[in-house]
Homo-oligomer: A and B are copies of this chain.
Amino acid sequence: LASQDIILSLLGSGEWVSGEEMAGRLSISRAAVWKQIQILRKRGYDIASSTRKGYRLASGPDLLHPDRILGCLKTKWMGRSLNLFDSVTSTNAVALSMAEESPHGAVILAETQSEGRGRLSRPWASPAGGIWMSIILKPQMPLSHVSRINMALSVALCRSISAVAGLQAAIKWPNDILIGERDEEGNWDGKERKVCGILTEMKAEVDRLDYVVVGLGINANVDLSAFPEEWNATSLAKEAGHPVPRADLICRILEEAELACEKAAGSAEDFQDIYQEWRSHSATLNRWVRISSADGEMMGMAADLDFDGALILELEGGGRSRILAGDCIHLRPCLHREAA
């Protein structure tokens, strides 16, 4: 580790640390500590100094640093192994390649992705300012419960976005998080925009889950000007009116994800409240939707969401269909009235 990194990790708690203590830890002079602090300030770290108390990290630039995240992280196992990269092809690809040797809850983070991807290998824009994170999970659960992981992470994201950015997040089935507003009757206003996507991948034997990799792509403070309008994307910064503290959001997500994943790996009873919360945060339920899946295209009313994550579609032509995953387009009420 470079001296600056050691100083950053010492300051990671946000408490005052004396120059003498830092000098001792680094085996350098107090003048040399001062010089390193100046370099860190030039790099964007806001470091307060006091002749009596020493130094304190007031705020950092919007760059991620493992020590800062680990310094604020209150989890038992989630994110305890944290790997931060400047740029990777895709954090899911890196996580899949590292999964065999990684512990349960290991996290891969990158400032940018050159080949970020979403469901069905579709490209995913990943500029600086976002949170591009993959979590390696090795839960003891049957293969058929994997959709619970997706549901648990959706709930964890909604809770964290609400707590850290003060925004109301909703879940677009099957794997997107939207920011939007409801009217007095609790109906979405139809102007929700996508702020996050979840990509759950797994490696398994016929009867045994080896590991799951959950990729989260969050448009935290990204510059939206490069996103085409038809992507219907927004950022947390735009919705909140100010940049969100990424490290804090990451910590909160990992804390909520630990709780939710433990419930997902438990009994049906354990998972019950995650399921209820997932269902109640749905932006899809009771909406007219068009679904494309391996079985073809269908239009209808999203009548229910099952305990295993499946969407129950009341078909336009009558009858019901149960769909585990697919592309979902929310139809605007007026558009549907025209079509109907």
Contact = CB atoms under 8 A, between A and B. Distances in A.
Interface of A: 96, 119-120, 140, 142-144, 146-147, 150, 174-175, 199-208, 210, 293-294, 309, 324-326
Contacts of A175: 206
A148 to B, nearest CB: 10
Contacts of A309: 206
Copies of this polypeptide in the complex: 2
Contacts of A202: 203-206
Given A142-B294, A143-B143, A174 B206 contact: yes
A205 B294 CA distance: 13
B150 A206 contact: yes
A9 to B, nearest CB: 35
Contacts of A207: 174, 293-294, 324-326
Contact of A206 (B205, B294, B325): B325
The secondary structure that dominates the A interface is mixed
B204 A201 contact: yes
| Chain B CB within 10 A, most for which of A142, A146, A199, A205 | A205
Contacts of A140: 294
A119 B208 CA distance: 9
27 contacts: A119-B205, A119-B208, A120-B205, A120-B208, A140-B294, A142-B294, A143-B143, A144-B144, A146-B206, A147-B206, A150-B206, A175-B206, A200-B205, A200-B206, A201-B205, A201-B210, A202-B203, A202-B204, A202-B206, A203-B203, A204-B204, A205-B325, A206-B325, A207-B294, A207-B326, A208-B294, A208-B325
A199 B208 contact: no
Contact of A205 (B143, B199, B205): B199
B203 A324 contact: no
A201 B203 contact: yes
A215 to B, nearest CB: 10
